Structure 1
Amino acid sequence: MNRTHHPHVPNHEGINPMGMRPHTLLALGGVALLAVAATGCTTDGDPAGTTVESKSFDFSGDSLTVKSNSADLELVAADVEDVQVERRISGTKVGGEKEPGWQLEGSTLTLSLDCTGISINCKAKYDVKVPRDVAITAENDKGLIRATGFTADFSARAGSSDVQLSDLSGANLDLEGRDGNIKADRISAKSVTVTSRNGDSDVSLASVPDLVDMRSQDGSIKLGLPEAMYAVDTATKKGDITVDVTKDDMSDHVVMVHTRNGDIALGKAF
């Protein structure tokens, strides 16, 4: 069953769901490099042959862009003053090299893995600890993006893998996925924007938002909202729509959820 409802959408001054405020980050260098090669089964479940390395980057600023091409990213807000990175490189190869890289330039931290020759399960995971109040932009083409605990604006751009977020309380949350799923729990943002091409989106909010705008081409959308009155606009071409929140077209809390092929479910935060 397809239904479309277009309420009156009030003007919200100062809301920019697609953008983030500009910030500056100054890199001062990297220190404290530690490498350990795992020769057997490790206590944390890493496969044999995993290499674990750690590095700290001094910096000054209030925003950080973290980029990766294929390695998984785990971003954790922590009580630290610098950026602390731990990487795990695993897999076997016949000829060629496994070439991981990490570099902080200006406001951009680049974390990479290039495998040449014949390799089996060549992969990397980067765990990144960042001060809680640093605004984050995470970009990953083929690897997972996972983040928790940040109190400033958060933005993520994912390619073919998933985005998994929890306990974010910055004013703006801006997510974009291509061919993976997006899941965000216990989010306390005033403005939430989620765009997906092929993948499901599942967002649960811990506080009443001013604006939620979720859109997908081919994926279902699930949105959990705290108790309040919302101006709701939903639409799908192929899918069912379920709305279990209190609706008021004149509400200052606007929710827009559109998908082309997929179900839409709005309900109480879960």
Structure 2
Amino acid sequence: MTATARTTSPTRRSRPVRAPALVLAGAAVVLGAALSACGASAADDDEPEHRAFDLPGASLTVDSDDSALEIVASDEQPEGEITVTRWFQGTVAIGSDPKVTWSMDGDRLVLREHCSGVVADCSAKHRVVVPRGVAVTVESDDGSVRADGFRDALSVRTKDGSVRVTDTSGPLELRSGDGSVRAEVSSRTVRAHSGDGSMHLVLTAVPDRVESRSGDGSTTIDLPRGAYRVDTSTGDGAEDVSVPHDDSSSHVVTARTGDGKLTVRTAN
């Protein structure tokens, strides 16, 4: 058949084209079926996995490449140990089976998702519970981060994802490359940065220092009643600063926005 195909007349030269056409048609069916199943959600995992890891010291780094994270400090968590719960859903139409891995390297918890192929659709979420008295650093490439209950230092950095922090009183540093930042805390020191996303900081106790910077997005800072040394600027946006000013105050608020409204006000 191959030799015949090479010597056929022009009227029969279309025959070899049919095989690629059939392949393409088959691929379209496979891709269509895969696309119809898109929208994987870790919330659909009814049987999450649980694992405990030993924590050798009083600090923890959570290193995640592609997962929603929830980090909780709890009095009920045993000292020297963290507990991780993992939810995962994933499909790959053409390629290796998707999977997630977790491991502990010293005081670094490493969370990885392996999901690649022609049509890959995966979703992962991790909940990490740490004992009180542990300082936590979160380094996330892609995924939202929520944190709650910290009395010690907390640092959260995500390249792509929102950040939410509540019920926290320790020193706080928040950074999102692309995503909103929200915090309702009683921390005395707060540093927050968003490259592209709105920011809302609610301080429930008079802070010593608040520093915020937003490249593109509105910023709102709610402060307890009191007088503050305030330094604000915005490249393209309105400013509404209504807290009482005192240039000699030890309570300092610095806020910068590149493009977006800036509001510093007394909380109701």
**So what's the TM-score if we normalise by structure 2?**
0.79
Q: Of the candidates 228, 231, 234, which is equivalent to residue 233 of structure 1?
A: 231
Any conservation in 2 of the 1:50–1:90 contact (CA below 8 Å)?
no
Once the two structures are superposed, residues 164-213 of structure 1 have per-residue CA deviations (whole angstroms, 9 ceiling, x without a partner) of 1101111x11111111110111x111111112211111110111111111
Any conservation in 2 of the 1:91–1:119 contact (CA below 8 Å)?
no
* Equivalence for 1:36: none
Any conservation in 2 of the 1:140–1:157 contact (CA below 8 Å)?
yes
* Equivalence for 2:66: 70
**So what's the TM-score if we normalise by structure 1?**
0.79
Give 1:236 shift.
0.6
**Pairs within 5 Å for 1:9-158:** 46-47=43-44, 51-78=47-74, 79-81=76-78, 82-94=81-93, 95-158=95-158
Amino acid at match of 1:102: W
Give 1:118 shift.
4.1
Amino acid at match of 2:121: N
CA distance in 1, matches of 2:47, 2:68: 15
Any conservation in 2 of the 1:232–1:247 contact (CA below 8 Å)?
yes
Give 1:152 shift.
0.2
* Equivalence for 1:178: 177
Amino acid at match of 1:111: L
3-state SS of paired residue (2:43): coil
Structure 2 spans left out of the alignment, 5+ residues: 1-41
CA distance in 1, matches of 2:246, 2:157: 32
Any conservation in 1 of the 2:234–2:261 contact (CA below 8 Å)?
yes
Give 1:254 shift.
0.5
CA distance in 1, matches of 2:180, 2:121: 22
Any conservation in 2 of the 1:98–1:114 contact (CA below 8 Å)?
yes
Any conservation in 2 of the 1:51–1:90 contact (CA below 8 Å)?
no
* Equivalence for 1:190: 188
Flag as ranges the 4+ runs of structure 1 deviating above 6 A: none
The alignment yields a C-alpha RMSD, in angstroms, of: 1.6
3-state SS of paired residue (1:84): strand
* Equivalence for 1:27: none
Structure 1 spans left out of the alignment, 5+ residues: 1-44
* Equivalence for 2:28: none
Distance 1:211 1:155, change over 3 A: same
Give 1:69 shift.
0.7
CA distance in 2, matches of 1:122, 1:50: 15
Aligned residues: 223
3-state SS of paired residue (2:248): coil
* Equivalence for 2:31: none
Any conservation in 2 of the 1:156–1:176 contact (CA below 8 Å)?
yes
Higher strand share: 1
Distance 1:98 1:51, change over 3 A: farther
User: Once the two structures are aligned, what percentage of the paired residues are identical?
Assistant: 38
CA distance in 1, matches of 2:145, 2:226: 31
